[in-house]
Amino acid sequence: MSTSVALRPPRTPRARAVVPAVLATAIAIALIRLTGTHDSPAVETFVLILTSIVVEALPFVLLGALVSALIEVYVPGRFLTRLAAMPVRRQLPLAALGGLAFPVCECGSVPVARRLIARGVHPAAGIAFMLASPILNPVVLASTVVAYAGRGLAWEMTLGRAGLGLLLAIAAGWAIGTDDAKTLLRPRPDDEPMSYEEASSRRTAFVNHLAADFFFMGRFVVLGAALAAAMQTLIPQSIVAGIARTPIIGSLALMAIAFVLSLCSEADAFVAVSFVQFPLGSQLAFLVFGPVVDAKLTFLYGATFRRRFVARLVVIAIPIVLAGSLWFEALVVPR
């Protein structure tokens, strides 16, 4: 008996960390069930919206992490060095237009942009790519065409969205990307460049990078979705929508709604087209602002970039989107 006790392996840090987490989770579930909280309409609304946002976003976070890991492990350093050596004025528009070839929404573009910047691409170009790809990618443009085809405005809205999104991405990249990578990015251990000489070590490194990015970004997507779900559960949307009759207020109101809803850019056009009481310029503001700044992205940006990134982005995005939507309303929308 005493021998078996003596041979028992010491408790590992894994066991010490996992056991309390499992216990706490089980107790929380039991409390919710026993107190009847699970039947509360507010709790049901919160859980349903939270889960639906996460279900929609998570595959794209994983896809973004996959591309990010490919860049880290398989894209030759000399290629990125050549790209980084280009003047910023060429890198920036090229990176923004690169979004046309990257069919991933906003959750996926953040880890990719982070990896590009960490590997030497100019921060301005990285930011421009990150902000442009959720708007310019082919799936998003196609969904915008389909959504507005019924209103006879497919090309006006799609080109307006692409043009204003490109302009915003380049302007924000130019204005925010003046910092160097170390000042801009929050540090993470896997930013250090490594060499992978054997195929097996490359595979392992690829899985490690993919997992690191997915787990890092994924939890902030959950936090952001929780914030969006809480706001949708607690705040009546009529507060925002009721003041939305004029183009300026309408655009600001739909930007606020885009922030709260935190929709995926690949499907948001179908929602935007439903806001028929708002001017078309305001709907354009919803389509351009939402993929750039929303509740879940606030957490992702906060985890990826250093302080004040979100504030600077909002200060740049609101006037550009507002001006663009008013210009669109005045000059493009048919009377």
- 193 is a site residue for another protein (CB under 8 A): no
Q: What is the DSSP letter of 152?
A: T
Site for another protein in 210-229 (CB under 8 A): 210-211, 214-216, 218-219, 222-223, 225-226, 228-229
Question: Which tokens hold the place of 309?
Answer: 């990134």
3-state secondary structure (DSSP) of residue 185: strand
What is the maximal distance between C-alpha atoms in the chain? 90
Q: How far apart are CA 315 and CA 60, in angstroms?
A: 27
Q: How far apart are CA 63 and CA 124, in angstroms?
A: 23
Residue 264, Cβ neighbours under 10 Å: how many? 20
Site for another protein in 248-267 (CB under 8 A): 261-264, 266-267
Size of the site for another protein (CB under 8 A): 79
Mention every residue, 6+ apart, whose C-beta is less than 8 A from residue 207: 69
- 246 is a site residue for another protein (CB under 8 A): no
Site for another protein in 59-98 (CB under 8 A): 59, 62-63, 66
CB of 26 to another protein, least distance (A): 9
CB of 5 to another protein, least distance (A): 24
Which residue, 29 or 315, has its beta carbon nearer to another protein? 29
Rule CB under 8 A: choose which of 3, 200, 311, 335 binds another protein. 200
- 314 is a site residue for another protein (CB under 8 A): no
Site for another protein in 153-192 (CB under 8 A): none
**Phi, psi (deg, nearest 5) at residue 152:** 70, 20
Q: How far apart are CA 206 and CA 201, in angstroms?
A: 8
- 238 is a site residue for another protein (CB under 8 A): yes
Signed CA dihedral, 236, 60, 272, 270: sign only: negative
CB of 258 to another protein, least distance (A): 11
- 54 is a site residue for another protein (CB under 8 A): yes
Q: How far apart are CA 133 and CA 106, in angstroms?
A: 7
Q: Which residues pair with 191 in a beta bridge?
A: none
Number of helices (H), then strands (E), in the chain: 17, 0
- 113 is a site residue for another protein (CB under 8 A): no
CB of 269 to another protein, least distance (A): 9
- 145 is a site residue for another protein (CB under 8 A): no
- 318 is a site residue for another protein (CB under 8 A): no
CB of 280 to another protein, least distance (A): 12
Which residue, 128 or 221, has its beta carbon nearer to another protein? 221
Which residue, 178 or 204, has its beta carbon nearer to another protein? 204
Rule CB under 8 A: choose which of 23, 33, 79, 180 binds another protein. 33
Q: How far apart are CA 257 and CA 196, in angstroms?
A: 46
**CA–CA distance from 129 to each of 27, 28, 83, 199 (Å)?**
44, 41, 13, 30
**For the chain, how many residues are written?**
335
Residue 276, Cβ neighbours under 10 Å: how many? 8
Q: Does residue 170 contact residue 128 with C-beta atoms inside 8 Å?
A: yes
CB of 41 to another protein, least distance (A): 4
- 41 is a site residue for another protein (CB under 8 A): yes
- 36 is a site residue for another protein (CB under 8 A): no
Rule CB under 8 A: choose which of 8, 14, 307, 335 binds another protein. 14
Which residue, 22 or 315, has its beta carbon nearer to another protein? 22
Site for another protein in 264-303 (CB under 8 A): 264, 266-268, 270-271, 273-278
